[in-house]
Amino acid sequence: MNNTLQHVGNPNVQAVDGLDKVLGRTKYVGDMVLDGMLHVKLLLSPLPHALISQINTEPALNVPGVKAVITSADFPDNGAFGWPIKDDFVLAHQKVRYVGEPVAAVAAETEKAAAKGVRAIRLELEKLPIVSDPAHALDADAPLIPLDPPQDSGNLCETLIVRNGNPEPILAECATVLDEIYYFQHQDHAYLEMEGALAIPEPDGGVTIFANDQSPHINRGNASAILGLAEDEVRIIQPPVGGSFGGKDDIVYQLTGITARLALMTKRPVRLLLTREESLKSSYKREAMQIGLTIGMDNEGKVRAGKAAILADSGAFASMTTLAAWRASMHALGTYRYEAAHVDTQVVYTNNGYSGAFRGFGNTQSAAASEIAIDELAYLADEDPIEFRLQNILQQDDKAFTGNTIEYESGLQKCLEWVRKQSDWSTKREDYPKSNLHSDLVQGIGVACYFHGSGLGGEGLDYARATLQVNQDHTITLQSGLTDYGQGSRTVFTLVAAETLGVSPGRIQMLRPDTHTALETGPTVASRASIVGGNATRVAAEKIKNMLQLAAADLLSCSTEQLFWEDETVIGPSEIPVSLEAVIDHAFAMGLQLSARGYWQLPEIHWDLATGSGVPYSTYSYGAQIADVTVNRQTGDVTVNKIWAAHDGGQIIYPNGAKGQLLGGIAQGLGYALTEGFSYKDSYPQKKNLNQYHIPTSLDVPEIESTFVETTFPIGPFGAKNLAEPVMIATTPAIANAVFHACGVRCRSFPISPAWLRDRLSDVTPS
Amino acid sequence: MKISFTLNYKPITIDVPPKTVLLDVLRDELGLTGSKPGCEIGSCGSCKVIIDGEAQNSCTIAADRLEGTTILTIEGLSAPDGKPNDLQQSFLEHGAVQCGYCIPGMVMAGEELLANNPFPSRLEIRQAISGNLCRCTGYVQIVDAIEATARNRAQAKEGS
């Protein structure tokens, strides 16, 4: 690592927006109140699949206090939206396709009046047969869910392939072939702040919307189409966002469209906030997925060939599920060397809510499936699971199962070695089985590792823009269109700018995204903010730095090569120190415009969807985790005692934040493994509120020992890679593999049900 | 319905509609938006305030039970000049804040614990905040922040 850095990597740096948050002063969208503001309540579909035979909103308008009621008829093109597949509507059109789908919206003087208005709407639905099991979504007699099948093939939403050589003849030669299917339920994001939007009509016919989305520019493009306005007539301002994890895009775009339309109709500010129960019902989830893996190895434990078959449940709409399924496909066989590999993925429509983006974006499932499969192979080979992995993992210059070469240094081996050493792995692997004999509480230790493609990869051009300006009062203003919904990117960008400029971070004020002032910069997704947003900030800061150098040289009557900066002071040949303030003043006097734009993009790559080959990502981040668990043989309960985690994120820019991302990611992975099944029964959601949908509490999260290993990634800002998503994906398989070590039961369905495990335990003799 | 209580060290009398819960009184009637709604059934802790020394979920407390009580919210914790108190400062130093939505409730839970148990173990801290959900941090740095504050307060007491 670079030891000359002052701000980047400084362990004492605090979040730039932390103070307002600890004081309770931060204004989230639900905390904003305007004079004359109307409140909105939604009519949600009570049925999973039905035709809307009639919807009469007249009675709602007669409720005192109600000012407006809207349905899909109030939008151009009926409010159709959705990318990459335009199959959704702001409010249900012609039919409802899941329980909780917004059908109509009522704006009223009070929330109570709006709720009364919703109850007054007469909605007549004609029940349709449902698809609740994705495995039957493509049956010939399955009821059709989309209005226009995107693949001209019923409920088929998307197919994806990977074709790298031919695995079949190699599998036929393999000494051992594992063939298993892994199942994953839906997961809810459960950010503590629910989704919301506040729309304000502008006198010129436009509309300004405060929305807690992830990607304001995408929201603007979407909203302008939904509202029939020009893009510059729609202004999206992003307030602080109370967590997102991929979850506040499409659903918030809907709320944006709804509040904007109502604001334009009533000419009053309009606010809509979902309650937790509405959020759990209506918002999109991590897609349920089943992953079948066939992996062959020779008799020396060398992995040789693999096949994966993925079935993803997109629910009622595509949202981001097709792209998440693409990422799942690009990681399906894990971070190992294969001579040949095929992946076949299908994304299907059902009536189980709808699915979209969620941290890990398909690799949460793929890493879990492949890491359990690898553990199964290590067991069949009678090898230590870490030794088995070390023999087979990808290193720099190896080829991934997708056929592309690993171009940059991989920290995976270092990660595996660190968690092995810190956890005292070998001793515990040996000792636990002995101490487990004759005990109802059995202990185990398991490992998992991962690779995770950085950025959008083959999904699209991966770029960002940033603007930076020095003000006459010597402060510096930084803006990016990339959003900080808690992950710390405002702090990261501030540190990158401070380091590049050689100024104190306190001098820099980072504005929030506002589509009228921030440059369009693509979506805030795919853990890409630090790399592309950080580099765009660096580029802008380098331009400003050059101008300051010119001004300093002019002021000190020397060449720029003769300048020496220390902190915010510059010295020239005269050896009289001059302050940054004086240099800034001189720059303005010279007429220099101390503002700059930065643009940066990842190297362009291409993945060919038709042939299933190409380069899916220009680089990857890596990591490994070990879980130590106790299984109660009587109840089937799994308790996680400790987790060791190592992640290769290149140069860490904001250490406190990076550690928080890692710890929080592990907590989400823990929930995914053990409690967070957002289940549907006959397409009806089974979890109403947070007393039924259990995310981990402070008592569930164990002690965690973690580290970031150092690798070189020359094109990252100061060498930084991504980390927000991948840090969560090893936790579930590490726990499952530890459960196997503890009690000999292979968990292949998640979350792990204690009742299921208890029943299996009665079949298994203690090893 | 008229009720009188002490809020953030000041006596207050207000008129609220019947069946109102404290969270709505704070947010809608008094404009104190530091306490957050997260579930409205007392399951997440985002709306936690301290009533007569006890941390409570304000979304489940009916306004008619407030008569004569003493209530402390996140807004009453910092110094009048807006400086964070030592626990709030500790949250910043330990990287315990990400999206920030759960933080006011977390801080109140931490304050209640430290008032009643000046020397909590890590397990006792985890127990004390177990009714406060956080989706970002995994709780570890929050526990670190509360633990460090306990230590510092104990040392300050010893020194005085």
Torsion on CA atoms A454, A460, A461, A465, rounded to nearest 10: -80
In this structure, the answer to whether residues A354 and A435 fall within a common structural domain is yes
In this structure, the answer to whether residues A581 and A620 fall within a common structural domain is no
Contacts of A284 (CB under 8 A, 6+ apart): A247, A250, A251, A315, A317, A319, A353, A354, A355, A356, A357
Over 70: is that where the pLDDT of B160 sits? no
In chain B, which residues have their Cβ closer than 8 Å to the Cβ of A486?
98-100, 136
In this structure, the answer to whether residues A669 and A743 fall within a common structural domain is yes
Q: Identify which of A542, A462, A544, A466 has the alpha carbon closest to the alpha carbon of residue A510.
A: A466
As given in the structure block, the two tokens for residue A133 are 């099991």
Round to whole Å and give the CA distance between A271 and A111.
Answer: 10
> For A243, which of B43, B95, B101 is closest by C-beta distance?
B101
Shortest Cα distance from A491 to chain B (angstroms)? 11
In chain A, which residues have their Cβ closer than 8 Å to the Cβ of B136?
243, 486, 660, 664
Q: Is B90 on the interface with A (CB under 8 A)?
A: no
Share of chain A above pLDDT 70, in %: 99
In a domain, A524, yes or no: yes
Shortest Cα distance from B141 to chain A (angstroms)? 7
- Give the single-character DSSP code of B27: I
In chain A, which residues have their Cβ closer than 8 Å to the Cβ of B84?
19, 22-23
pLDDT at A3: 63
Q: Identify which of A539, A451, A486, A468 has the alpha carbon closest to the alpha carbon of residue A727.
A: A451
In chain A, which residues have their Cβ closer than 8 Å to the Cβ of B104?
24
Is 1.10.150.120 the CATH number for B86-159?
Answer: yes
Mean pLDDT calculated for residue range A459-483: 94
Domain boundary among A244, A273, A302: A273
Q: Are B138 and A667 inside 8 Å of each other by CB?
A: yes
Over 60: is that where the pLDDT of A72 sits? yes
Q: What is the CATH number of the domain that holds A377?
A: 3.30.365.10
Per-residue pLDDT band for A765 (boundaries 50, 70, 90) equals: low
Report which residue type is found at A66. V
Which site among A20, A23, A191, A198 would you substitute to test the B interface, given the most B Cβ atoms closer than 10 Å to its Cβ?
A23
pLDDT at A377: 98
Q: Are A193 and B97 inside 8 Å of each other by CB?
A: no
pLDDT at A762: 84
> For A659, which of B78, B95, B125 is closest by C-beta distance?
B95
In chain A, which residues have their Cβ closer than 8 Å to the Cβ of B92?
14-15, 18-19, 22
Round to whole Å and give the CA distance between A445 and A440.
Answer: 17
Domain boundary among A273, A308, A339: A273
Q: Is A35 on the interface with B (CB under 8 A)?
A: no
Q: Is B84 on the interface with A (CB under 8 A)?
A: yes
In this structure, the answer to whether residues A68 and A216 fall within a common structural domain is yes
Phi/psi-derived region of residue A92, left when phi > 0, alpha when psi is between -120 and 50, beta in every other case:
beta
Give the residue carrying structure tokens 């590792």.
A449
pLDDT at A522: 83
Q: Identify which of A171, A464, A175, A553 has the alpha carbon closest to the alpha carbon of residue A340.
A: A171
Q: Are A486 and B98 inside 8 Å of each other by CB?
A: yes
Q: Which helix (H) or strand (E) holds A705?
A: strand A703-709
Over 90: is that where the pLDDT of A710 sits? no
B2-76 topology per CATH: Ubiquitin-like (UB roll) (3.10.20)
Round to whole Å and give the CA distance between A641 and A551.
Answer: 59
Mean pLDDT calculated for residue range A464-482: 96
Chain B residues 38-67 with CB within 8 Å of chain A: 38-41, 43-44, 46
Integer-rounded Cα radius of gyration of chain B = 16
Phi/psi-derived region of residue A511, left when phi > 0, alpha when psi is between -120 and 50, beta in every other case:
beta
Over 90: is that where the pLDDT of A649 sits? no
Q: How many CA atoms lie within 13 A of B72 on its CB side?
A: 16
Round to whole Å and give the CA distance between A96 and B15.
Answer: 43
- A680: helix, coil or strand? strand
Per-residue pLDDT band for A527 (boundaries 50, 70, 90) equals: confident
* Inter-chain CB pairs, A–B, below 8 Å: 176
Q: Identify which of B58, B66, B19 has the alpha carbon closest to the alpha carbon of residue B41.
A: B58
In this structure, the answer to whether residues A474 and A509 fall within a common structural domain is yes
Q: Is A239 on the interface with B (CB under 8 A)?
A: no
Cis peptide before A239 (omega within 30 of 0): no
In chain A, which residues have their Cβ closer than 8 Å to the Cβ of B35?
24
> For A689, which of B43, B77, B107 is closest by C-beta distance?
B43
For B48, which residue in chain A has the nearest alpha carbon?
A24
- B111: helix, coil or strand? helix
- A597: helix, coil or strand? strand
Over 90: is that where the pLDDT of B121 sits? yes
Distances (CA, A) of A288 to A182, A751, A753: 11, 11, 16
Q: Give A3-46 pLDDT, tens digit per residue.
A: 689 999 999 999 999 999 999 999 999 999 999 999 999 999 99
In this structure, the answer to whether residues A587 and A495 fall within a common structural domain is yes
Mean pLDDT calculated for residue range A247-276: 98
Distances (CA, A) of A141 to A124, A144, A164, A683: 26, 9, 34, 18
Domain boundary among A572, A601, A630: A601
The whole-chain average pLDDT of chain A stands at 96
In a domain, A163, yes or no: no
Q: Are A276 and B38 inside 8 Å of each other by CB?
A: yes
Estimate to the nearest angstrom the gap between the alpha carbon of A656 and the chain centroid: 20
Q: Give B72-108 pLDDT, tens digit per residue.
A: 999 999 988 889 999 999 999 999 999 999 999 999 9
> For A192, which of B40, B44, B141 is closest by C-beta distance?
B44
A753: how many CB neighbours lie within 10 A of its CB? 16
Round to whole Å and give the CA distance between A694 and A689.
Answer: 9
Round to whole Å and give the CA distance between A38 and A177.
Answer: 62
Contact A103, A50 (CB under 8 A): no
Which site among A35, A192, A666, A692 would you substitute to test the B interface, given the most B Cβ atoms closer than 10 Å to its Cβ?
A192
Domain ranges within chain B, ordered by starting residue: 2-76, 86-159
In this structure, the answer to whether residues A94 and A236 fall within a common structural domain is yes
Per-residue pLDDT band for B151 (boundaries 50, 70, 90) equals: very high
Q: Give A625-647 pLDDT, tens digit per residue.
A: 999 999 999 999 999 999 999 99
Mean pLDDT calculated for residue range A486-507: 96
Round to whole Å and give the CA distance between B137 and B154.
Answer: 26
Q: Are B39 and A14 inside 8 Å of each other by CB?
A: no
Q: Are A240 and B140 inside 8 Å of each other by CB?
A: no
> For B82, which of A23, A276, A659 is closest by C-beta distance?
A23
> For A242, which of B96, B101, B125 is closest by C-beta distance?
B101
Q: Is B18 on the interface with A (CB under 8 A)?
A: no
Contact A568, A580 (CB under 8 A): yes
Per-residue pLDDT band for A1 (boundaries 50, 70, 90) equals: very low
Per-residue pLDDT band for A767 (boundaries 50, 70, 90) equals: very low
Q: Are B135 and A243 inside 8 Å of each other by CB?
A: yes
In this structure, the answer to whether residues A80 and A215 fall within a common structural domain is yes
Q: What is the CATH number of the domain that holds A102?
A: 3.90.1170.50
Round to whole Å and give the CA distance between B100 and A12.
Answer: 19
Number of domains in chain A: 3
Integer-rounded Cα radius of gyration of chain A = 27
Q: Are A699 and B127 inside 8 Å of each other by CB?
A: yes
Per-residue pLDDT band for A296 (boundaries 50, 70, 90) equals: very high
Tell me the pairing of strands B70-72 and A607-608.
unpaired
In this structure, the answer to whether residues A616 and A574 fall within a common structural domain is no
Give the residue carrying structure tokens 């496909």.
A329
Chain A residues 668-697 with CB within 8 Å of chain B: 668, 689-691, 695-697
Q: Is B137 on the interface with A (CB under 8 A)?
A: yes
In this structure, the answer to whether residues A521 and A559 fall within a common structural domain is yes
In chain A, which residues have their Cβ closer than 8 Å to the Cβ of B30?
none
Main-chain phi, psi angles of A173, to 5 degrees: -85, -15
In chain A, which residues have their Cβ closer than 8 Å to the Cβ of B43?
689-691
Tell me the pairing of strands A340-349 and A156-164.
antiparallel
In this structure, the answer to whether residues A445 and A420 fall within a common structural domain is yes
Round to whole Å and give the CA distance between B34 and B60.
Answer: 17
In this structure, the answer to whether residues A436 and A468 fall within a common structural domain is no
- A740: helix, coil or strand? helix
Q: Give B72-81 pLDDT, tens digit per residue.
A: 999 999 988 8
Q: Are B35 and A276 inside 8 Å of each other by CB?
A: no
For A20, which residue in chain B has the nearest alpha carbon?
B100
Q: Give A656-704 pLDDT, tens digit per residue.
A: 999 999 999 999 999 999 999 999 999 999 999 999 999 999 999 999 9
Q: Is A115 on the interface with B (CB under 8 A)?
A: no
Domain assignment of residue A253, given as a range: 32-128+195-273
**Which residues is A708 bridged to in the sheet?**
A647
The whole-chain average pLDDT of chain B stands at 96
Share of chain B above pLDDT 70, in %: 99
A260-299 b/e (C-beta count within 10 Å ≥ 16 → b): bbbbbbbebbbbbbbbbbbbbbbbbbbbbbbbbbbbbbee
> For B98, which of A14, A190, A487 is closest by C-beta distance?
A487
For A689, which residue in chain B has the nearest alpha carbon?
B39
Q: Are B99 and A660 inside 8 Å of each other by CB?
A: no
Tell me the pairing of strands A122-127 and A50-56.
antiparallel
Chain A residues 156-195 with CB within 8 Å of chain B: 189-194
Q: Which helix (H) or strand (E) holds A667?
A: helix A655-674
Per-residue pLDDT band for A320 (boundaries 50, 70, 90) equals: very high
Shortest Cα distance from B158 to chain A (angstroms)? 27
Q: Are B98 and A665 inside 8 Å of each other by CB?
A: no
Complex ipTM more than 0.95, yes or no: yes
Q: Are A191 and B101 inside 8 Å of each other by CB?
A: yes
Q: Are A242 and B141 inside 8 Å of each other by CB?
A: no
Q: Is A240 on the interface with B (CB under 8 A)?
A: yes
> For A242, which of B31, B96, B100 is closest by C-beta distance?
B100
Q: Is B20 on the interface with A (CB under 8 A)?
A: no
In chain B, which residues have their Cβ closer than 8 Å to the Cβ of A193?
36, 38, 99, 101
Over 90: is that where the pLDDT of A749 sits? yes
